């Protein structure tokens, strides 16, 4: 029998789901429950998985917390994934526009470099976690580190995030940071404010605003 796959589970996640208990019963795994700095699961010290229920994801999007959370997840040195768990009816009953959801997904995967995995249930989330763990063990390679980790300084990392938004690129990203100072200020800026940045016209400003911001009207039931 090969060496057991090591999985660390955040203690808060352990209390809120039954996944940790099921993992601990598997002989091929070495499971430790502890407080993690980021994410809900750490696999082989290489990959961080964050598990979010659909309703929690949509609430954090409505309240403006989603991208701040994504920023912290992307900033840690290991590869990160997000598991979105919930049946299709949870998406349909949330009162969030399809465009709003797609915009958030695009921002997470393109701008923050966090792949999003979809799961219908806790059981399917467990299967995705185990699939990831077994693939890592089979590969037996050093941790995969994203190029953004090699960039120097916080500002360079911020430019990398903003440049991933379609129609932005590194030059416009740098100009936006020069004018607004932080990513948070850019996310909350109006299209009119964004259009004041050199090289960003009204249409591009509208596109950026759509990609990173959702108005309250989008969440009415």
pLDDT digit string, tens, across residues 44-83: 888 999 999 988 888 888 787 888 888 888 888 888 999 9
Task: Identify whether residues 116 and 157 lie together within a single domain.
Answer: no
Contact of 193 with 202, CB cutoff 8 Å: no
Question: Any idea which of 34-38, 109-113, 142-146, 210-214 has the lowest mean pLDDT?
Answer: 142-146
Answer yes or no: do 124 and 46 share one domain.
yes
Confidence of residue 112 (pLDDT cuts 50, 70, 90): confident
Q: Using the predicted structure, report yes or no on whether residue 214 has a pLDDT greater than 70.
A: no
Which has the minimum average pLDDT: 77-81, 105-109, 128-132? 105-109
Same domain, 134 and 157: no
Residues 129 and 169 in one domain: no
Residues 6+ positions from 24 with CB-CB distance below 8 Å? 31
Domain-embedded: residue 144: no
Q: Are residues 105 and 199 in the same domain?
A: no
Residue 114 lies in a domain: yes
The CA distance from 149 to 202, in Å, is 33
85-108 mean pLDDT: 79
Q: Are residues 133 and 207 in the same domain?
A: no
In this prediction, what percent of the chain has a pLDDT beyond 70?
A: 87
Given a cut of 90, is residue 34 above it in pLDDT?
yes
Mean pLDDT value across the chain: 82
Q: Which two tokens stand for residue 168?
A: 């932005």
Boundary (domain end) residue, out of 104, 139, 174: 139
Domain of residue 115, CATH code? 3.40.50.10130
Q: Report the SS3 class of residue 33.
A: strand
Cα-based torsion angle of the residue sequence 48, 211, 188, 93 in order, rounded to the nearest 10 degrees: -80
Q: What pLDDT does residue 94 have?
A: 67
pTM above 0.75, yes or no: no
* Residue 2 reports pLDDT greater than 70: no
Provide the token pair at 115. 């792949």
Q: Is 70 exceeded by the pLDDT of residue 25?
A: yes
Neighbours of 126 (CB within 10 A): 19
Full residue range of the structural domain in which residue 212 is found: 152-219
Q: Is residue 107 part of a domain?
A: yes
Higher per-residue confidence, 110 vs 36: 36
Whether 87 and 168 share a structural domain: no
Convert 151-177 into a string of H (helix), E (strand) and C (coil): CCHHHHHHHHHHHCCCCCHHHHHHHHH
Please state the rounded mean pLDDT for residues 128-143: 75
Q: Check whether residue 130 and residue 158 sit in a common domain.
A: no
| pLDDT score, position 82 | 93
Summarize the confidence of residues 203-218 as an average pLDDT.
Answer: 70
Residues 124 and 157 in one domain: no
Residues 13, 59, single domain; the answer is yes
Residues 207 and 112 in one domain: no
Number of independent structural domains in the chain: 2
């Amino acid at each position: 029998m090969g060496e057991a796959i090591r999985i660390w589970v955040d203690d808060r996640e352990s209390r809120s789901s039954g996944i940790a208990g099921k993992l601990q019963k598997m002989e091929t795994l070495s499971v430790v429950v502890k407080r993690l700095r980021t994410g809900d699961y750490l696999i082989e010290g290489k990959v961080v998985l964050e598990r979010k229920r659909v309703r929690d994801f949509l609430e954090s999007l409505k309240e403006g917390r989603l991208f701040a959370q994504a920023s912290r997840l992307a900033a840690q040195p290991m590869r990160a994934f997000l598991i979105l768990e919930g049946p299709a009816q949870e998406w349909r009953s949330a009162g969030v526009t399809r465009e709003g959801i797609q915009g958030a997904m695009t921002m997470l995967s393109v701008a923050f470099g966090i792949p999003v995995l979809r799961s219908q249930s806790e059981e399917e989330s467990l299967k995705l976690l185990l699939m990831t763990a077994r693939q890592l063990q089979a590969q037996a390679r050093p941790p995969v580190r994203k190029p953004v980790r090699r960039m120097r300084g916080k500002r360079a990392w911020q430019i990398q995030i903003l440049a991933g938004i379609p129609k932005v690129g590194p030059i416009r990203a740098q100009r936006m940071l020069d004018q607004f100072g932080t990513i948070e200020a850019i996310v909350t800026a109006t299209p009119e404010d964004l259009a004041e940045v050199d090289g960003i016209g009204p249409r591009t400003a509208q596109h950026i605003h759509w990609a990173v911001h959702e108005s309250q009207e989008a969440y009415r039931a």
